[in-house]
């Protein structure tokens, strides 16, 4: 807001003044880019909590499929809007709408990444700012839609707002018995940061190698920095577990409490830097289209996720819905904030669903990320593929309901 007022008053970009080194906007974009990967890496290092039952595995799998299905739904409507807009508005980028699932579903980091790919490789002027603006509207949608839903359901008597007294954190919530001490020759927080840094270094080297092997895909590969970071962090975690089983490592080096704090820190920085990096002047001709996309994104995400939660999660419908709606318009942190309003002590499995759904979501969502680079070349074909993909994902998601009815028939 401050930077926008400064721009209106002086005509200059505040973050590009000498006070910020003359190129502050680019620095903010870099911060957004890197903190996305660092946040996911920290989340990937968190130790798993106990064994999963068959029911819980199914619920987590369904949550992951819901995530990807929502991405696809957002992509279908976003791309349809931008294709129509390109027919009406001269010079408008027809594939711009594919940024809706990246801005709403995945947050400012991925919106910036793909906006940058469209801007650098396909000539979408203002692609980065377009993606970041969509992401900012996503946070507004999460806040406005979530609060309105809470108030309506409260008035209907369908849920009770939870007021949890702030208590001191218990020692067992901070560390388990088998972990390295909190303070030794090296502080435990330092070790967590070192693990994150090593994982990101390995990810960067892997991206450099893949980029050298496939030069035409280099920008796309670097756009997947968070995904490759998750891969290297997971491999490091598996390696440490193997060393522990072989009795080479005696203690647990990763700490869930500190890794959660680290991931939240990186995601908070990502959100702030992403919003600050928006250049409103570039988007002055497209505000109508952006607002239409934002409103449509809010409505379809709300309706679809409430239907899924009501159908597949009857035991904790409201908790599951608020968590997913918050995440799929903002970030995981937004989903947790909304969940805390009615489940402050996280008694339902909704939070665990949010954490562990990343694995099936990455598996099913990866083809869509590749598909996004087809949109600038063949937007209509991409739209058709998205529709088919969405239908297939819903068959998988509602398999128990679909095949149960067929058996009865």
Assess if residue 11 is contained within a domain.
no
Comparing 290 with 48, the larger pLDDT belongs to 290
Assess if residue 85 is contained within a domain.
yes
Assess if residue 18 is contained within a domain.
no
pLDDT of residue 4: 54
Neighbours of 164 (CB within 10 A): 11
What pTM value is reported for the model? 0.77
- Chain centre distance of CA 313: 22
Residue 87: both structure tokens together: 């027919």
Cβ–Cβ under 8 Å, residues 92 and 105: no
Assess if residue 10 is contained within a domain.
no
Instruction: Give the position of tokens 């496939």.
Output: 214
Q: Of 359, 282, 347, which Cα lies nearest the Cα of 319?
A: 347
Taking residues 286-314, report their average pLDDT: 94
Per-residue CA distances from 235 to 76, 243, 394 (Å): 34, 12, 31
Residue 260: both structure tokens together: 């959660």
pLDDT at 10 over 70: no
Domain that holds residue 225: 24-47+60-162+184-408
Taking residues 234-241, report their average pLDDT: 91
Assess if residue 334 is contained within a domain.
yes
Total tally of structural domains belonging to the chain? 1
Assess if residue 152 is contained within a domain.
yes
Per-residue CA distances from 401 to 57, 308, 309, 395 (Å): 17, 12, 14, 9
What's the chain's average pLDDT?
A: 83
pLDDT of residue 386: 96
Taking residues 308-324, report their average pLDDT: 94
Assess if residue 16 is contained within a domain.
no
Assess if residue 398 is contained within a domain.
yes
Q: Of 32, 39, 33, which Cα lies nearest the Cα of 233?
A: 39
Residue 83: both structure tokens together: 């294709």
């Amino acid at each position: 807001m401050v930077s926008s007022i400064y721009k209106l008053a002086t005509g200059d970009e505040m973050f590009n003044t000498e006070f910020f080194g003359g190129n502050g906007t680019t620095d903010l974009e870099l911060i957004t880019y890197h903190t996305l990967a660092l946040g996911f890496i920290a989340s990937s290092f968190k130790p798993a909590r106990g064994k999963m039952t068959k029911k819980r595995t199914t619920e987590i799998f369904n949550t992951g499929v819901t995530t990807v299905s929502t991405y696809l739904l957002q992509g279908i409507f976003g791309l349809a809007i931008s294709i129509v807009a390109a027919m009406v508005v001269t010079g408008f980028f027809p594939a711009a709408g594919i940024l809706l699932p990246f801005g709403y579903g995945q947050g400012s980091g991925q919106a910036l990444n793909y906006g940058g790919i469209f801007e650098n490789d396909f000539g979408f002027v203002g692609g980065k700012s377009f993606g970041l603006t969509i992401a900012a509207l996503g946070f507004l949608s999460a806040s406005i839609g979530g609060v309105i839903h809470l108030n309506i359901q409260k008035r209907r008597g369908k849920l009770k707002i939870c007021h949890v007294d702030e208590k001191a954190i218990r020692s067992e919530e901070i560390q388990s018995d088998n972990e390295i001490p909190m303070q030794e020759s090296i502080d435990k927080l330092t070790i967590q940061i070192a693990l994150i840094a090593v994982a990101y270094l390995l990810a960067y080297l892997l991206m450099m190698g893949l980029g050298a092997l496939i030069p035409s895909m280099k920008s796309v590969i670097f756009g997947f920095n968070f995904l490759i970071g998750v891969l290297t962090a997971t491999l490091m975690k598996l390696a440490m577990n193997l060393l522990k089983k072989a009795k080479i490592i005696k203690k647990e080096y990763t700490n869930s409490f500190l890794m959660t704090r680290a991931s939240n820190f990186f995601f908070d920085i990502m959100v702030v830097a992403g919003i600050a990096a928006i250049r409103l002047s570039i988007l002055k001709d497209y505000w109508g289209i952006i607002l239409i996309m934002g409103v449509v994104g809010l409505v379809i995400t709300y309706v679809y996720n409430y239907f899924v939660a009501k159908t597949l999660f009857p035991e904790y419908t409201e908790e599951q819905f608020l968590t997913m709606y918050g995440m799929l318009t903002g970030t995981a942190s937004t989903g947790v904030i909304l969940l805390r309003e009615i489940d402050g002590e996280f008694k339902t499995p909704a939070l665990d669903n949010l954490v562990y759904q990343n694995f099936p979501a990455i598996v099913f969502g990866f083809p869509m990320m590749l598909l996004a680079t087809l949109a600038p070349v063949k937007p209509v074909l991409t739209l058709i593929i998205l529709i088919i993909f969405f239908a297939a994902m819903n068959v998988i998601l509602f398999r128990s309901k679909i095949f149960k009815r067929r058996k009865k028939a």
